[in-house]
Structure 1
């Protein structure tokens, strides 16, 4: 077996992000895995999520502040300066007032890649059950694919088949060895090629050697297929979207049903702390949870972020989601409820994969393939679980029909609207706007309008400054 040394200090977290200063340091807290159990534990440590409810593993919370779902008119800058910074579309999303003072998504996602690389390269020599070894290797590949997918969609251009081979992506590191040279950025196409290769092999290994893992903090064949459908959607590989979404739904078709409630009850009784939280572990539709609750700091403590009138107006009469997802907080308007299952648990995972996304991904693929009936059927399957069934005399009042949505463009738009309603606040909207063509966004604060223009280069976030400072070869994103 190769000698493997894993540095568990902060310095290691920057190793794969090309921090030359970190490469000069000696590893600390060394560990040499030998058994399959060692590798499972090692891979668990690599997941970008909290290991307890007190530690925050900060990821891409700032993208929520940049979307058209946000209203910041109630911000008290003295209590929470940072939300205003990305909200006003600065050249960089980083600011000294952000959580811990810098963007930690790069560090935490490359940390996941490092541990995935250790497992992929060495686990074949582990002691233990062959099926468990193969499954864990596949899981590591899927975790690596997930991490690169997040990175390339934060710090690189959205996928465009015509330009992906020349667009700058992120550094691609596939082995756990420490090298002295600085890393440079591969193309977006190379990153997506690796993501798809990892997903294909990872899903195969996990499916053929399924260990029946039930933890929602670990990737499984179900969540891996949902991830693959999302990746395919971003690349506009619509038939693949359908294939992977079919597999996901075939393994788990559970939806979170709130339709047994009435609008009257929702409007008068729901609020902070009421009902089962949307990302509760007991919900069968939740198939993967990760990250932590850094949004609590910006949504609830300073009371900075509220939901835009544009988004509120998108919800229709009888739609219970507006009241289940949000609550009125005095003069602050509608603010998030999705992110507040436990008020003092900043490490509570608030990001995740839900089965609803599989239906939405598939609906969008059907819409672009000009199969409107199938697209609307998927939307209606979701909607019947989210509307007050007694709100209208007609039991089918919530349903979309091809009589109303009679063109391809109308079907695509209604799919996008439903996606926005269902997934708001779950860190989808920024990435969706990027792949929709990077439309103009206007934000207003203190009688001043801030504009992110169509195809604005600020739709591609700047590489974190700590990486730019330590790595002289790292290419900046243009401004």
Structure 2
């Protein structure tokens, strides 16, 4: 690709491997590690795979030349989807790690930004690692074994995951553009220096490669050892269920409804829906029954103040959290039935305690000493009592500001701490929603209702899916269920592109966001009319890649 990708191979064969197995260093100096050593046998190949697992959530400077600690890879990229799409709402101007800049759409629209550059190179780093494993496992020199097939299945799945992320961020949405001609991203298959630079493939070509990789992954997994059972760490390993889940996501994003529905059913088979207690536990552990895939964050690789829960939770002990409580769109929360236990994690009546709140209704009036929050007008006692009650429930203190419609869906396991927690990437609930959407789009109303029924009836004691008996009503309800069930888990950006929906914080009574704080991102035209939904290609890539020119910029 370009020089940075060449450097990545050296980093990958050195830094990544040494971070995965200290014993390897006892006999092999860091600067002497080669592709031959790194891929000599299945055990060594597993070290490369372990590096990919850790690279998903490690701080970017540990795996990318020029990386920065403020972007701890999927700690950042996963919640970015809800930050960009306006689902995860900031209540104050407190900034950290560029999180407010992202929310205002001033980062992914800038080709020199860290976000555009680091997401690009992180995903291509995954492609590089996958290529190393795929090319070695399929060159005909290794004996076939279940262990080798398991490694190969994970490598194909990783490559598909990386290319899906790249094409969904750096190209026009499949369903709103012309995938046969729209420029996608470069497809790279090399694992040897020097890399051959490639031009942008079309969106269709990228999707075709993703599909082929997932077919190959599933075939390899069927001959593999299977993912080990055990604790949260085992779900860091990809398996056939993850491959089916990615196939379901890919098919949904391109309108291949039948494949999406079938793959979603296969992906979720071994992951029963969570009950109320698990659902309210904070979404901080791979041990939850629904989790198909997630990163188990180990102490040695914790991201501290760059972590997922620092960016999205209201219980992590950091200034971004204490000064800027994250709230949910009040239009979504108000629509949740009282019989649905998911409503319990959104606190409509939390007092606005922040004197710097963007809506100018926080804190106490300097003249009267009474709350500025109109929900507690002349009621200082009620204001203080409710704040104390919420503090007690969630293990926080008055050092943490509160705000109406703040959430406690996503919370770190040890409230008020900076301890590391897992990052969940795929749950069975998503698969029920994919099946329902796909069947609705195929005009199979009864099938879509039955797909949605288990999830709805688990969450809402009065749920009646038959109330949604037309395609239009059912699709609106499925969208509502996705926004609610997957809130804060990063799906908002790709959902809006697939549905071709814009952002309007002012519509239907308002979301609760501040126009002064959100600036031009307060209202954003839908993706088919606004190319700012597409991430800019890093300027460094265009400058260095001979097969890309300024005309290739999004």
Give 1:398's aligned residue. 463
Give 1:184's aligned residue. 199
Verify: 1:64 aligned to 2:78, yes or no: no
Give 1:277's aligned residue. 282
Among 279, 282, 294, the residue aligned to 2:307: 294
Give 1:30's aligned residue. 33
Given that residues 63 and 430 in structure 1 are in contact (C-alpha distance below 8 angstroms), is that contact kept between their aligned partners in structure 2? yes
- 1:218-367 matches, within 5 Å, as 218-249=237-268, 251-258=269-276, 276-290=281-295, 294-299=307-312, 300=314, 301-303=319-321, 304=324, 305-324=326-345, 330-333=401-404, 334-335=406-407, 337-338=409-410, 340-342=412-414, 348-367=421-440
- 1:395-434 matches, within 5 Å, as 397-401=462-466, 404-434=467-497
Given that residues 170 and 537 in structure 2 are in contact (C-alpha distance below 8 angstroms), is that contact kept between their aligned partners in structure 1? yes
Q: Distance in 2 between matches of 1:71 and 1:163?
A: 32
SS at match of 1:331: coil
Q: CA deviation at 1:181?
A: 5.2
- Structure with the largest fraction of helix: 2
CA-based RMSD of the aligned residues comes to: 3.3
Given that residues 296 and 346 in structure 1 are in contact (C-alpha distance below 8 angstroms), is that contact kept between their aligned partners in structure 2? no
- What TM-score do the two structures reach when normalised by structure 1? 0.80
Given that residues 287 and 353 in structure 1 are in contact (C-alpha distance below 8 angstroms), is that contact kept between their aligned partners in structure 2? yes
Verify: 1:453 aligned to 2:525, yes or no: yes
Q: CA deviation at 1:168?
A: 1.2
* Deviation per residue, 1:105-155 (Å, 9 max, x gap): 222211111111011001245666612212211221111001111111111
Q: Name which one, 1 or 2, has greater alpha-carbon Rg.
A: 2
* Deviation per residue, 1:336-369 (Å, 9 max, x gap): 5425235655763423110111111000111111
Segment drifting more, 358-367 vs 288-297:
288-297
Give 2:135's aligned residue. 121
Among 99, 112, 123, the residue aligned to 1:109: 123
User: Aligned in 2, Cα 1:30/1:10: closer, same or farther, shift over 3 Å?
Assistant: closer
SS at match of 1:287: strand
User: Aligned in 2, Cα 1:110/1:314: closer, same or farther, shift over 3 Å?
Assistant: farther
Verify: 1:142 aligned to 2:162, yes or no: no
User: Aligned in 2, Cα 1:325/1:146: closer, same or farther, shift over 3 Å?
Assistant: farther
User: Aligned in 2, Cα 1:468/1:310: closer, same or farther, shift over 3 Å?
Assistant: farther
Verify: 1:462 aligned to 2:462, yes or no: no
Given that residues 46 and 113 in structure 1 are in contact (C-alpha distance below 8 angstroms), is that contact kept between their aligned partners in structure 2? no
Q: CA deviation at 1:30?
A: 1.9
Q: Distance in 1 between matches of 2:156 and 2:346?
A: 33
* Deviation per residue, 1:366-389 (Å, 9 max, x gap): 1111122221222221122223x4
Given that residues 91 and 458 in structure 1 are in contact (C-alpha distance below 8 angstroms), is that contact kept between their aligned partners in structure 2? no
User: Aligned in 2, Cα 1:49/1:410: closer, same or farther, shift over 3 Å?
Assistant: same
Give 2:45's aligned residue. 39
Q: CA deviation at 1:68?
A: 3.0
Q: Distance in 1 between matches of 2:107 and 2:423?
A: 27
Q: Distance in 2 between matches of 1:320 and 1:165?
A: 44
Q: CA deviation at 1:462?
A: 1.1
